[in-house]
């Protein structure tokens, strides 16, 4: 809970800083009449709106589970990231529209030196906040904070490119470069927004994170007990920072309920202790069958019906199958 409160405080500070930066950027635009700077200022509006919703989603995600939300409120983080991605794409479209208008009307620029200075300050702060948010988001497994950090970093790098463009305009006098840079930045911003939106949709649709699933399975394989005969029907869903895993585990049929429960508890403890985040496991226990003997490496099994041939390695390909394994599955 302390870590969650820390995430909320950090997001609140970033939101406050975002409001200040938005004012600075619009001041720079008013002084220069540069559509390149306006593109940066418009994205700051998106930063503030998205940051506000991100803060709300973190507060909501931190709420404990209740009867109406038995898996918690973590899914709201995917909605927050989706809204942020959509707003970023919308901001990019507005920037292109403004740039085309200015290109047709031959808009003049003023006070570029002041505008460059203000934009540099804003870009530096965005870079620092983006790095902090992205690192904290990865540590806390928060897609909301990662999305906010990625957005601020894209804003910072586009500001760097914008400053380079303004310097070129200042020394060459080619005003049309302002509109060209604005359109290029808008396309980059839209690409970033689409990636954030795509990731949020994947979370809402419970798309499997194959990389994370492979890591969990590899951990279980590396610490596998001989009595853990088989693992299959493995599925994993994200609820914000919480991972929910359900699977079937084959154990010796003659184990008492208490002993079987101890083995499942050991598996749960292993994953929760070593994976670095909160994991909820729902494990269905299956009794072994005579066909399981060929893949069971339990040396002192008193009920063995056939000699051990080969253990089935637990990999993403083998454990996601919804069927018990046997010698045929190895040889086939």
| Residues 141-182 pLDDT 10s | 777 777 777 777 777 776 776 677 777 777 777 767 767 777
Mean of the per-residue pLDDT values of the chain: 80
pLDDT score of 121: 82
| 57 — pLDDT class (breaks 50, 70, 90) | confident
Tell me the two tokens of residue 310.
């080969």
pTM for the whole thing? 0.61
The helix (H) or strand (E) run that includes residue 243 is: strand 242-251
pLDDT score of 112: 64
Does residue 273 register a pLDDT over 80?
yes
Does residue 233 register a pLDDT over 80?
yes
Which residue would you say has higher pLDDT here, 65 or 330? 65
Interval 59-115: pLDDT, tens: 877 777 777 776 666 677 777 778 777 877 877 787 777 677 766 766 555 556 777
Which residue would you say has higher pLDDT here, 225 or 159? 225
Average pLDDT over residues 111-136: 79
Domains in the chain, ordered, with CATH?
2-204 (1.20.1510.10), 210-331 (3.30.70.1350)
Residue 299 CB neighbour total at 10 angstroms: 8
Residue 186 CB neighbour total at 10 angstroms: 25
Most confidently modeled of 47-61, 222-236, 267-281?
222-236
| 207 — pLDDT class (breaks 50, 70, 90) | low
pLDDT score of 8: 80
Interval 178-205: pLDDT, tens: 677 777 877 877 887 788 788 777 777 6
Residue 122 CB neighbour total at 10 angstroms: 26
| 240 — pLDDT class (breaks 50, 70, 90) | low
Does residue 1 register a pLDDT over 60?
no
Parallel, antiparallel, or unpaired: how do β-strands 242-251 and 230-239 relate?
antiparallel
Q: What is d(CA 117, CA 140) in angstroms, rounded to the nearest whole number?
A: 35
């Amino acid at each position: 809970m302390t870590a969650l409160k820390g995430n909320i405080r950090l997001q609140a500070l970033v939101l406050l800083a975002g409001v200040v930066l938005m004012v600075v950027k619009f001041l720079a635009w008013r002084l220069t009449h540069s559509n390149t700077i306006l593109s940066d200022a418009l994205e700051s509006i998106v930063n503030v709106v998205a940051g506000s919703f991100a803060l709300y989603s973190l507060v909501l995600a931190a709420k404990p589970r209740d009867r109406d939300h038995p898996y918690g409120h973590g899914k709201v983080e995917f909605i927050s990231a989706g809204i942020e991605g959509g707003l970023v794409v919308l901001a990019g479209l507005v920037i292109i529209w403004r740039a085309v208008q200015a290109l047709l009307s031959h808009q003049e620029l003023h006070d570029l030196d002041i505008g460059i200075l203000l934009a540099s300050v804003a870009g530096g702060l965005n870079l620092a906040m983006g790095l902090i948010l992205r690192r904290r988001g990865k540590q806390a497994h928060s897609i909301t904070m990662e999305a906010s950090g990625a957005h601020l970093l894209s804003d910072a790098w586009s500001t760097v490119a914008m400053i380079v463009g303004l310097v070129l305009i200042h020394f060459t006098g080619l005003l049309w470069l302002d509109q060209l840079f604005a359109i290029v930045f808008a396309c980059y911003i839209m690409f970033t927004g689409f990636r954030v939106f795509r990731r949020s949709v994947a979370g809402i649709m419970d798309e499997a994170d194959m990389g994370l699933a492979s890591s969990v399975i590899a951990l279980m394989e590396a610490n596998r007990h001989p009595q853990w005969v088989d693992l299959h029907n493995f599925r994993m869903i994200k609820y914000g920072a919480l991972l929910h895993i359900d699977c079937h585990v084959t154990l010796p049929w003659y184990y008492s309920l208490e002993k079987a429960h101890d083995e499942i508890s050991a598996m749960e403890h292993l994953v929760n202790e070593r994976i670095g985040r909160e994991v909820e496991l729902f494990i269905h226990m299956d009794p072994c069958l005579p066909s399981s003997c060929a893949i069971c490496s339990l040396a002192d099994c008193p009920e063995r019906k056939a000699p051990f041939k080969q253990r089935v390695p637990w990999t993403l390909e083998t454990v996601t199958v919804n069927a018990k394994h046997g010698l045929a599955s190895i040889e086939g």
